[in-house]
Amino acid sequence: MHVKTLLAEVGRRIFFSVAGLMVICCIASSVAVAAEPTENAVKVAYLYNFALFVDWPSDTWTDNDETFNVCILGVNTFGRALDSLRGKTIKTREVSVVQINTAAEADQCQILFISQSERQQVLHIIEQVNRKPSLTISDMTNFVQSGGMIGLFTDEGRIQFEINKPAAEQAGLTISSHVLRLAKRRTP
């Protein structure tokens, strides 16, 4: 057989064996449970990352055993994406995810994520928590204009954030300049 034809034949065989392997792989993979990098996963990762770049007042915790509380106020749309926070530590404290239903329960929340379901009451909620050392974050529209600290929004398919620095300062929180630099202004 001519060398070139032989090479073509070998090439073809390699291709089809890889194709076969791939089909097997797909069947195998369909057994497994897996997930796309969804919007929720990115938002949860943001919650974690912001915590790394924000300083809470020294008197936030009284006891060494106290956890770092990430609270979700309102309808929890994150679902299982929050699982990725389990077992993590922030500021050397174990992370605890807490579901709350009213702003009055937000006392011990270092991060307070306000769900879109609370859009109607957002001004009232902010008023109740704005002097407490809780980093308020939401993906509802006009969140920072309503007095919230960090607003998440989607721009051209990517999740970006805007920051209301005075609101954070008022609550005694210091947001690292690294994060401030990366913040975007949401186009109105």
Contact letters for other proteins, residues 19-58 (x by CB under 8 A):
x-xxxxxx-xxxxxxxxxxxx-xx-xxx-xxx--x-----
| CB of 125 or CB of 132, closer to other proteins | 125
Tell me how many degrees the CA angle 162-164-168 measures, rounded to the nearest 5: 130
Report the nearest approach of other proteins to the CB of residue 104 (Å): 26
Q: How far is the CB of 30 from other proteins (least distance, A)?
A: 5
163 CB-near residues (< 8 Å, 6+ apart): 144, 149, 150, 151, 175, 179, 180, 183
Tell me, what DSSP letter sits at residue 75?
S
The SS3 assignment for 96 reads strand
- Pull the structure tokens for residue 104: 């009055």
d(CA 98, CA 28): 36
For the bound state, the minimum distance from the C-beta of residue 46 to other proteins, rounded and expressed in Å, comes to 6
Which listed residue (101, 154, 170, 174) binds other proteins by CB under 8 A? Answer: 154
Residue closer to other proteins, measured from CB, 132 or 152: 152
Contacts of residue 56, Cβ cutoff 8 Å, sequence gap at least 6: 91, 110, 133, 135, 172, 173
How far is the C-alpha of 109 from the C-alpha of 139, rounded, in Å? 18
Contact 76, 115 (CB under 8 A): yes
Among 6, 13, 18, 131, binds other proteins (CB under 8 A): 18
| The only residue of 55, 57, 83, 124 in contact with other proteins, by rule CB under 8 A | 83
Can residue 3 be called a binding residue for other proteins (CB under 8 A)? no
Nearer to other proteins, 132 or 148 (CB): 148
Residues that bind other proteins (CB under 8 A): 8, 11-12, 14-16, 18-19, 21-26, 28-39, 41-42, 44-46, 48-50, 53, 80-81, 83-85, 88, 141-142, 154, 156-160, 178-179, 182, 184-185, 187-188
